[in-house]
Amino acid sequence: MKLKHFCLIAAPMIAYGGFTCYGETIDISTPNTTMLLDATLGQPLRFIYYGDLIPQAQAGQIAESTGWHTAYPVYGMSASRETAMSVTHPDGNMTLDLAVTGTESSVRKDGSKVTTVTMSDKVYPFDVRINYLTYPDNDVIETWAEAVNRGKKPVELREFSSAYLPVRRGDVYLTSFTGSWGNEAIMVEEPLKPGVKIIKNKDGVRNSHTAHSEVMLSLDGMPRENEGRTIGAALCYSGNYELKIDTDDSDWHHFFAGINEDNSAYTLGKGETFVTPALALTYSPDGKSGVSRNIHRWGRDHKIAHGNDLRKILLNSWEGVYLDIKEDEMAQMMADISSMGGELFVMDDGWFGAKYPRTRDNSSLGDWTVDTGKLPNGINGLLDMADRNGIRFGIWIEPEMTNTISELYEQHPEYIIRPTNREPVLGRGGTQAVLDMSNPKVQDLVFSVVDTLLTRYPRIDYIKWDANAPIMNHGSQYLTADRQSHLMIEYHRGFAKTLERIRAKYPDVTIQACASGGGRANYGVLPWFDEFWVSDNTDALQRVYMQWGTSHFFPAVTMASHISAAPNHQTNRVIPMKYRIDVAMSGRLGMEIQPKNMTQEETDLCRNAISEYKTIRPVVQQGDIYRLLSPYDGKGVASMMYVSPDKDKAVFYWWKLETFVNQHLPRIRMAGLDPDRMYTVRELNRIDRKPLSFEGKSFSGRYLMSNGLEIPYTHNTDHRNRSAWSSRVLYLE
Ligand code: GLA
């Protein structure tokens, strides 16, 4: 067995980054955090430390003086513990016994550094490579594993986690996100107790409706927003995942993250490498919001398509007209959003289908040709209208899907996912089927849907890419009989390949990931998507909760958040326009409404809000988040803020969640400001007859953070406009 062990960066003192050798100790540091590992040749890779930055001079001593864990536990030779990888060798041997055979590090063009530790099985021709990627400018470590079959016969992978992290027991709390359609990203906080906690997804296509592949671990007791040592972990994968925390009889919690292996045993052929998706890890001493800020910054800089660009303010047609697309109404909606200062109009579902026009949700997916009955002047007619209104135009597609009532299905029934010898299970409308993205011909087809639209209509600025069905029945008509268990994985490889092709040709178009609402809020898709639809539920009150959860890992620039009608179409709740605006303005602002049904007063409020949003947009979309009071705390109010990176501007949100007579709401202390700077306060979207007592006055950051402002509980409006609802948005400059 060839052993290689070399250290590419010889100098022991580097400011951050990356990689230094201390004998066998590997230091994976970011500007403010350190992970220490021991890669002694002939031993398994060992985990030593993860947390606050360690001066490099101390790293060796820490390594020598603390205990250690196997950094990537494997199955077979210490079988009583949960493991990150298990395999069956060609001769039936089910064990792995790994030892370090080499460590390499390289610097990429963008300044990021990858450190790879290779472990080889002591007997079998099988390697596991553990990778750590860091960036010079933020505190996230991306880590993933690769399995390499150096042998001549296939090896079966039964478990294949991306990463493992031991977390010292004490008083550790888990924050995770659960939910369902219309109620996405609901936050759950619980102490970690003995036993195994599993968070996983099995949808096959979408992966963030019911549970999220991101968690936080608060190491110092009950999770707090702006203090307490906290670890954040986000699995960057578009498909089925599994996060597992085993609290066994030791002093440690054992955290594993990776692809969900259920029904996905993977045969790794001769000479092949299996690459797992990355787990993004971060550590912050500043609580959950500190973790959010680290992840948001990393996301915007490195993971989200156009993460550092501002998003346009749009009107989407769905809740305005649903499938009932008509050219004159599209024209009217474009004129209306343009007159309110909006910048983009998105035509949603219902515009396509020639032989089978899309009048209901049971037909036409796959037939991406214009329904000229609804749109006599086609897409070009709409693009001309958008031009005349000085706005851009976007369009809805659902390219991974078809209906059995469609020309596509008639021509290519072999493209859908279905088991052999059985009728396929169908979804939405009783006819929707999922196209088999493992099939290269389907990948070409999906690419061509986007390619045709964007070549034929280069003025299209935005695509809403939807996905409204899970993999309901297991079976690929493309994969061979002995590779059927690869379907869930190959689907997402095909999806990734297709999106790569699309982005290579169309780097500039804005693409929204929608999947029956918030089914694709995940860093696995964001490299190709600019944003995602948080939920099909646009009710402002419920959005406070959903956006609160979503904001833990995803910055406002990704969170599509639209003003919709009252009564709300999902909850029937009647919430005044002011409150609907104030909630929508905390994300990527848009509208999802038929503007012609709004009152003049509502239209004026929206026009004003859009103009104000343009002022605060850089702070909201590119600023640092500080969550202040959680809606989940049951204190009757929720509050959060965004602060510009230079701390010279901030936007503060306050949403009352319930109303009782003689209620006592807490005063909210702000966070993240410069204590010595003076901030002038201006209320946005004011509906009160008189300005607030602090309007136009200046306060030090210290006062705002130690005391806070007294926010009136109700709005001082004329009688007609009184309601139980109250909210405030304050701009601090
Ligand atoms: C899904 C989306 C909606 C809308 C409809 C169209 O439900 O989440 O926003 O686009 O599909 O059919």
**Is the Cβ atom of 356 under 6 angstroms away from ligand 1?**
no
Do the strands 460-465 and 392-397 form a parallel or antiparallel pair, or are they unpaired?
parallel
Closest by CA to 305, choosing from 562, 109, 507, 521, is 507
Pick from 208, 318, 351, 537 the residue to mutate for probing ligand 1's pocket: most ligand atoms within 8 Å of its CB: 318
- Look at residue 15 in the predicted model and tell me its pLDDT: 29
* C-alpha neighbours within 13 Å on the C-beta side of residue 425: 8
**Is the Cβ atom of 289 under 6 angstroms away from ligand 1?**
no
**Is the Cβ atom of 348 under 6 angstroms away from ligand 1?**
yes
How far is Cα 550 from Cα 533, in angstroms, rounded to an integer? Answer: 11
235-286 per-position pLDDT tens digit: 999 999 999 999 999 999 999 999 999 999 999 999 999 999 999 999 999 9
Q: What is the pTM of this model?
A: 0.96
Residues 664-695 as b or e (16 or more Cβ within 10 Å = b):
ebeebbbbbbbeebebebbbbbbbbeeebebe
Q: CA–CA distance from 95 to each of 145, 263, 654 (Å)?
A: 18, 20, 56
**Is the Cβ atom of 536 under 6 angstroms away from ligand 1?**
yes
How far is Cα 102 from Cα 115, in angstroms, rounded to an integer? Answer: 11
Pick from 466, 532, 537 the residue to mutate for probing ligand 1's pocket: most ligand atoms within 8 Å of its CB: 466
How far is Cα 520 from Cα 511, in angstroms, rounded to an integer? Answer: 12
Closest by CA to 207, choosing from 494, 516, 572, 478, is 516
- Look at residue 64 in the predicted model and tell me its pLDDT: 82
Specify which residues 25 forms β-bridges with: 22, 38
Spatial neighbors of 341 by CB under 8 A, at least 6 apart, are: 313, 607, 610, 611, 614
Residue 453 backbone dihedrals phi, psi, to 5 degrees: -60, -45
The parts of the chain modelled with pLDDT lower than 70 are: 1-23, 79
How far is Cα 155 from Cα 149, in angstroms, rounded to an integer? Answer: 7
Q: CA–CA distance from 93 to each of 75, 86, 97, 158, 431 (Å)?
A: 11, 11, 11, 13, 45
Burial environment of residue 156 by CB neighbours within 10 A (0 to 12, 13 to 18, 19 or more): middle
Residue 540 backbone dihedrals phi, psi, to 5 degrees: -60, -35
CA–centroid distance, 516 to ligand 1, in Å, is 6
Tokens of 205: 């296509």
**Is the Cβ atom of 532 under 6 angstroms away from ligand 1?**
no
Closest by CA to 100, choosing from 145, 155, 38, is 38
How far is Cα 496 from Cα 490, in angstroms, rounded to an integer? Answer: 10
How far is Cα 583 from Cα 443, in angstroms, rounded to an integer? Answer: 38
Look at residue 281 and give its three-state secondary structure: strand
Of all protein residues, whose CA lies closest to atom 11 belonging to ligand 1? Answer: 516
Peptide bond into 567 cis (omega under 30): yes
Tokens of 593: 């409404």
